[in-house]
Amino acid sequence: MDDAILAEEEAMLEDMRSRVSGFEKERGNLIPILQMIQGRHAYLPPEAMDLAAEHLNIPVCEVYGVATFYNQFRFHPPGRHPIKVCLGTACHVKAGDIILENFERKLGITDGETTPDKEFSIERVACVGCCALAPVAVISETVHGKMAPSKVEGLLLRIQIEKEKAERERESGKREGEK
């Protein structure tokens, strides 16, 4: 198990290294480099910061300074189903904070955290551009409009059921294979 994780990390590092070296050594490429890494790996591990600093020949603290300034960058891996609750103006007026609270309560984590099983993470965002459907939540890539506290439970349940179904299918597939 540990070996698998190590191998995965090594592969990730290798991927980052080879791609970062493809960028020109210009300061203006710092944000594109960070965006590229986050685009591929969903977050910025400390190694990413070191790589970027080394490549552009700037202090690591500068890289952290830039990365932490912007809302886009995250420093922890998100869950398999990242949940973004919109708290833009329209969603706020339509009680988006109650939707956020419901997700937090149901999953037992707060805004910015990931569940221990790495299934879900919660994040608050400002306006996803569907204000006419407020309040809005985005799960993975799907936008859910006109949210209500009672819909929260249903959405989470659906993901849970789908996951269990997939697991059952995998199990039975395995058993078939064994036969």
Identify the residue among 9, 10, 14, 70 touching other proteins (CB under 8 A). 70
User: 3-state SS of the chain: helix, strand, coil percent to 5?
Assistant: 60, 10, 30
Q: Does 65 bind other proteins (CB under 8 A)?
A: yes
Query: How far, in Å, CA of 55 to CA of 27, rounded?
Result: 10
Q: Which is nearer to ligand FES, 37 or 147 (CB)?
A: 147
| Number of other CB atoms surrounding residue 122 within 10 Å | 23
Binding to other proteins, residues 2-21 (CB under 8 A): none
Residues 160-179 that bind other proteins (CB under 8 A): none
Is residue 150 a contact residue for other proteins (CB under 8 A)?
Answer: yes
User: Would you call 135 helix, strand, or coil by DSSP?
Assistant: coil
Nearest to other proteins of 16, 103 (CB atom): 103
The Cα-based distances of 159 to 70, 121, 152, 154, 170 in angstroms read 30, 13, 11, 9, 16
Q: Which is nearer to ligand FES, 12 or 90 (CB)?
A: 90
95 binds other proteins (CB under 8 A): yes
31 contacts 69 by C-beta, under 8 angstroms: no
**Do 12 and 41 contact (CB within 8 A), yes or no?**
yes
Residues at the site binding ligand FES, with contacts judged by CB under 6 A: 86, 88-91, 127-131, 134, 136
| Binding span for other proteins by CB under 8 A among 6-14, 40-48, 74-82, 149-157 | 149-157
Quickly count: other Cβ atoms within 10 Å of residue 178's Cβ. Answer: 6
| Residue 63 or 91 with smaller CB distance to ligand FES | 91
Find, among 156, 50, 46, the residue nearest to 99 by Cα. Answer: 156
Distance in Å, CB of 143 to other proteins, minimum: 4
Q: What is the contact surface with other proteins in residues (CB under 8 A)?
A: 26-32, 34-35, 56, 65-66, 69-73, 87-90, 92-95, 98, 101-102, 105-106, 125-134, 136, 143-145, 148-150, 152-153
